[in-house]
Amino acid sequence: MTVTKTLRVPDARLHYEVRGRGPLVALVGAPMGAGAFEPLADLLASDHTVLTTDPRGIGRSPVDDPEQDSTPPLRAGDLSRLIAEVDAGPAVVLGSSGGACTVLAFAQAHPGQARRVIAHEPPLDTLLDDRDELFKRTDEMIATYLGGDVMGAWREFMELSDIHLPEGALEHMFGGDRSAQDVADERRWFEHELRETVHWKPDLAALRAVASRIVVGIGADSAGELCDRASRALAEELSVEPTLFPGGHTGFADDPEPFAAHLRKVLAESR
Q: How far apart are CA 123 and CA 7, in angstroms?
A: 28
**pLDDT by residue (tens digit) across 122-174?**
999 999 999 999 999 999 999 999 999 999 999 999 999 999 988 888 888 88
Give φ, ψ of 199 to 5 degrees: -85, -10
Element (H or E) spanning 91, and its range?
strand 91-96
Q: What is the location of CATH 3.40.50.1820 in the chain?
A: 2-128+200-268
Contact 37, 27 (CB under 8 A): yes
Helix, strand, coil abundance in the chain, percent, nearest 5: 50, 20, 30
CB neighbourhood size of 224 (10 A): 9
DSSP state of 55: P
Q: Please name which of 75, 79, 74 lies closest in space to residue 92, comparing C-alpha atoms.
A: 79
Contact 65, 14 (CB under 8 A): no
Average confidence score pLDDT of the chain: 96
Residues 6 or more apart whose Cβ sits within 8 Å of residue 176: none
Beta strand 2-9 with 49-53: parallel, antiparallel or unpaired? Answer: unpaired
pLDDT recorded at residue 89: 76
% of the chain surpassing 90 pLDDT: 92
Local structure of 44: helix, strand or coil: helix
**pLDDT by residue (tens digit) across 49-90?**
999 999 999 999 999 999 999 999 999 999 999 999 999 879
DSSP state of 57: T
**Which CATH code, of 3.40.50.1820, 3.40.50.2300, 3.40.50.620, 3.60.15.10, is assigned to 2-128+200-268?**
3.40.50.1820
**Rg for the chain (alpha carbons), in Å?**
17
pLDDT recorded at residue 35: 97
Q: How far apart are CA 241 and CA 218, in angstroms?
A: 11
pLDDT recorded at residue 45: 97
| Single pTM value for the model | 0.97
pLDDT recorded at residue 173: 86
pLDDT surpassing 90 at residue 107? yes
CB neighbourhood size of 258 (10 A): 14
